[in-house]
């Protein structure tokens, strides 16, 4: 009866093949020894890898077992871990899956060379006797071995010879004679140890009792050696690896068979490889030091002010920061969303004389209109319902430092005059207070809108625009400086790895090409988010990311008729009607899960600004 215990304890090599998965399901210890691989290695490799270039034969054998229930073949030649082909016979039986899944194949393997060797050993044992007669019969055993294996011995590329229990050579195959430089007649009948392996690697004397070859017929164990030298007839030596296998006759050790090969070229190659690896390691260490130095140089040169990049636009930006930072002038930063306008503002602040004072950031787009004045200038207790205590405004918080007004184009028109006053006079009052306060604040503003167009549309005060636009700086989109994409991507990927506490990841050349070819409508912020997502999805040390499908505009492909061109008045009328429809659907609600902003897919504060700009009445059904 077949059980897992009998499978593992069987002396015959056995495998379980899973044809459906091209896998090795199990292997007993005898099979592991035959193939020179441990069980995890066998289970991790496809069955076809064990039988290189024999997929058709493996399929034929598997199909025969599946259809007939059992089959055998000698056509399959698996490979030992060393690459040596194994001459075997496969006898396969169908092995049903216990849960009704795809069946496997139980393969019982017969090592044909070992089987012939055992047969010859049994024949030699019949001729074993004592004294001179015993030696003569043992000699005949080896002669029989030589005769019966004549073709194998002559065809084998490895050197093969036999010795009796006294260490006297009994046969030598042609390959052994060729490698040793002796003829078979010169070696047979001589003490092989004294002839061929009489010194150690360093030339020291090698006593008989220490010879692993002779040890095989003394202790009955197989001895494998891979670090010894044999000596040729001309006095030269060569490195060998060999196996000395004992031969028994009627239970007594009668001698040994030795199989050896010349590994001088392999050792030379290994030595060259070791030298090459040592040189590579030395170069790697040198490059790591140089890279660390260069990275530091790059950080000092290209990450000045915390702004990464080598593109001309970035160099121009750094020059502008160098010029304006020490002056205290008001700066207006324009550019698309995600281009790093806040980073530019921080760089200006850090390079100015106000660096030791705070940089206060205000996102004008997120402050409700009714709270804007209180947020910017502060209020006193009782100034309005809910004002239960005094509140310090952002201008006071930034006193002596810098105030960064992000999305300045979102400030309601009716409140822009108050901002203009504090910019011109450096004075303001808290809401509900008559006391005038003075502040020393540098203002840096940023917007992704075209403020000149906003001025023409009377949505932004012209005098405030000119007061803010003392020193304009444009933050260029990422698609205009593609050469910086690899540098930024690597930086954000390292940051993501540190944040997620995972091993460092790196981008391939293919990754860099894909990233550089993309238009990045979300600019640097989109790239940063993509790299963090790539680190989260990383597998096997490789970041994984998918770039969005390019838009029709980005790809340059035009489909269908061109869109209708609208005048500014027509566009505003269309937007007004669209917002009115959303307000009707939401019952007049702007905020909330079912509000008009959610219906339109925009931020509530953005919709509120549009409602005011279009002259609609917020919060009512129109």
Calculate mean pLDDT across residues 559-576. Answer: 63
Which CATH number characterizes residue 404's domain?
A: 3.40.50.300
Co-location of 432 and 524 in the same domain: no
Calculate mean pLDDT across residues 104-109. Answer: 90
Measured between alpha carbons, how far is residue 520 from residues 201, 308, 353, 475 in Å? Answer: 66, 17, 35, 14
Residue 545 pLDDT exceeds 50: yes
Residues 6+ apart with CB under 8 A from 509: none
Of 351, 414, 360, 369, the closest CA to residue 392 belongs to 360
Query: pLDDT higher for 198 or 435?
Result: 435
- Does residue 236 lie within any of the structural domains? yes
User: In the 8-state DSSP scheme, what is residue 231?
Assistant: E
Calculate mean pLDDT across residues 354-371. Answer: 87
Which CATH number characterizes residue 224's domain?
A: 3.30.450.20
- Does residue 74 lie within any of the structural domains? yes
The CA distance from 151 to 9, in Å, is: 35
Domain end call among 452, 476, 500 = 476
Co-location of 373 and 229 in the same domain: no
Co-location of 391 and 466 in the same domain: yes
Phi, psi of 195 (to 5 degrees): -85, -50
Co-location of 151 and 91 in the same domain: no
Co-location of 489 and 429 in the same domain: no
Co-location of 516 and 575 in the same domain: no
Residue 187 pLDDT exceeds 50: yes
Co-location of 369 and 320 in the same domain: yes
Co-location of 321 and 470 in the same domain: yes
Co-location of 256 and 199 in the same domain: yes
Co-location of 328 and 463 in the same domain: yes
In sequence order, what are the beta bridge partners of 431? 379
Helix residue spans in 10-156 (DSSP H): 29-35, 39-44, 47-50, 55-68, 112-125, 131-148, 150-155
- Does residue 270 lie within any of the structural domains? no
Query: pLDDT higher for 602 or 493?
Result: 493
Domain housing 589: 568-613
Calculate mean pLDDT across residues 223-249. Answer: 86
Range of lowest pLDDT (53-67, 444-458, 563-577): 563-577
- pLDDT, tens digit (0-9, with 9 covering 90-100), for 375-401: 888 888 888 887 788 888 888 888 899
Co-location of 327 and 458 in the same domain: yes
The domain total for the chain is 5
- pLDDT, tens digit (0-9, with 9 covering 90-100), for 244-294: 888 887 777 888 888 898 888 888 888 888 888 877 876 776 566 555 545
- Does residue 211 lie within any of the structural domains? yes
Tokens of 196: 């061929």
Of 337, 344, 342, the closest CA to residue 313 belongs to 344
Q: Quick one: residue 301, left, alpha or beta (phi over 0 = left, psi -120 to 50 = alpha)?
A: alpha
Residue 212 pLDDT exceeds 90: no
pLDDT of residue 133: 61
- pLDDT, tens digit (0-9, with 9 covering 90-100), for 83-92: 889 888 889 9
Co-location of 470 and 511 in the same domain: no
In sequence order, what are the beta bridge partners of 244? 223, 258
- Does residue 301 lie within any of the structural domains? no
pLDDT of residue 575: 76
The CA distance from 500 to 493, in Å, is: 10
Domain end call among 111, 140, 164 = 111
Please tell me whether the overall predicted TM-score, pTM, comes out greater than 0.85 for this model. no
- Does residue 471 lie within any of the structural domains? yes
Domain end call among 476, 495, 524 = 476
Confidence label for 138 from pLDDT (cuts 50, 70 and 90)? low
Residue 144 pLDDT exceeds 80: no
- Does residue 40 lie within any of the structural domains? yes
pLDDT of residue 589: 80
pLDDT of residue 121: 63
Range of lowest pLDDT (117-121, 468-472, 586-590, 594-598): 117-121
Residue 134 pLDDT exceeds 80: no
User: How many CA within 13 A on the CB side of residue 165?
Assistant: 18
Contact at 8 Å (CB) between 402 and 342?
A: no
Which CATH number characterizes residue 538's domain?
A: 1.10.8.60
The CA distance from 504 to 518, in Å, is: 24
Contact at 8 Å (CB) between 140 and 123?
A: no
- Does residue 318 lie within any of the structural domains? yes
Confidence label for 126 from pLDDT (cuts 50, 70 and 90)? low
């Amino acid at each position: 009866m077949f059980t897992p215990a009998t499978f593992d304890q069987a002396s015959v090599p056995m495998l379980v093949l899973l044809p459906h998965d091209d896998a090795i399901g199990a292997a007993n210890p005898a099979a592991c020894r035959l193939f020179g691989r441990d069980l995890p290695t066998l289970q991790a490799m496809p069955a076809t890898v064990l039988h290189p270039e024999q997929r058709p034969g493996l399929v034929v054998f598997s199909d025969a077992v599946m259809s007939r229930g059992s089959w055998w073949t000698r056509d399959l030649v698996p490979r030992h871990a060393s690459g040596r082909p194994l001459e075997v016979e496969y006898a396969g039986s169908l092995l049903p899956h216990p849960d009704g899944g795809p069946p496997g194949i139980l393969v019982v393997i017969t090592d044909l060379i070992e089987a012939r060797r055992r047969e010859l050993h049994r024949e030699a044992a019949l001729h074993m006797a004592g004294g001179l007669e015993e030696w003569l019969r043992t000699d005949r055993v080896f002669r029989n071995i030589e005769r019966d294996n004549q073709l194998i011995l002559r065809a084998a590329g490895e050197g093969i010879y036999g010795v009796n229990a006294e260490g006297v050579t009994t046969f030598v195959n042609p390959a052994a004679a060729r490698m040793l430089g002796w003829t078979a007649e010169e070696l047979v009948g001589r003490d092989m140890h004294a002839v061929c392996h009489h010194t150690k690697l360093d030339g020291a004397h090698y006593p008989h009792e220490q010879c692993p070859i002779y040890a095989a017929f003394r202790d009955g164990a197989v001895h494998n050696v891979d670090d010894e030298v044999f000596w040729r007839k001309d006095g030269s030596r060569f490195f060998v690896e060999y196996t000395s296998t004992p031969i028994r006759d009627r239970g007594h050790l009668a001698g040994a068979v030795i199989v050896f090969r010349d590994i001088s070229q392999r050792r030379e190659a290994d030595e060259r490889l070791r030298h090459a690896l040592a040189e590579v390691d030395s170069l790697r260490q040198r490059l790591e030091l140089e890279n660390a130095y260069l990275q530091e140089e790059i950080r000092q040169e290209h990450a000045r002010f915390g702004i990464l990049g080598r593109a001309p636009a970035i160099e121009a930006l750094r020059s502008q920061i160098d010029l304006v930072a020490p002056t205290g002038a008001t700066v207006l930063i324009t550019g698309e969303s995600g281009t790093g306008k806040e980073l530019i503002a921080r760089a200006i602040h850090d390079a100015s004389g106000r660096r030791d004072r705070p940089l206060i950031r205000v996102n004008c787009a997120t402050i409700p209109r009714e709270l804007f004045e209180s947020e910017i200038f502060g209020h006193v207790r009782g100034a309005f319902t809910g004002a239960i205590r005094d509140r310090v405004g952002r201008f006071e918080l930034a006193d002596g430092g810098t105030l960064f007004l992000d999305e300045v184009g979102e400030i309601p028109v009716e409140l822009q005059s108050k901002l203009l006053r504090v910019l011109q006079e450096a004075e303001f009052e808290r809401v509900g207070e008559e006391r005038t306060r003075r502040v020393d604040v540098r203002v840096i503003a940023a917007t992704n809108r075209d403020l000149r167009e906003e001025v023409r549309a009377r949505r932004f005060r012209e005098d405030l625009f000119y007061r803010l636009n003392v020193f304009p700086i444009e933050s260029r989109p990422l698609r205009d400086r593609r050469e910086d994409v690899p540098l930024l991507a690597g930086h954000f990927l390292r940051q993501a790895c540190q944040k997620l506490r995972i091993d460092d990841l790196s981008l391939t050349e293919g990754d860099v090409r894909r990233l550089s070819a993309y238009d990045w409508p979300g600019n640097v912020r989109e790239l940063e988010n993509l790299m963090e997502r790539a680190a989260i999805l990383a597998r096997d040390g490789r970041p994984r990311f998918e770039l969005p499908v390019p838009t029709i505009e980005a790809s340059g492909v035009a489909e269908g008729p061109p869109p209708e061109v609208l005048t500014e008045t027509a566009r505003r009328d269309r937007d007004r009607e669209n917002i009115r429809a959303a307000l009707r659907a939401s019952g007049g609600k702007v905020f909330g899960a079912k509000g008009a902003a959610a219906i339109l897919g925009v931020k509530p504060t953005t919709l509120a600004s549009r409602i005011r700009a279009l002259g609609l009445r917020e919060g009512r059904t129109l």
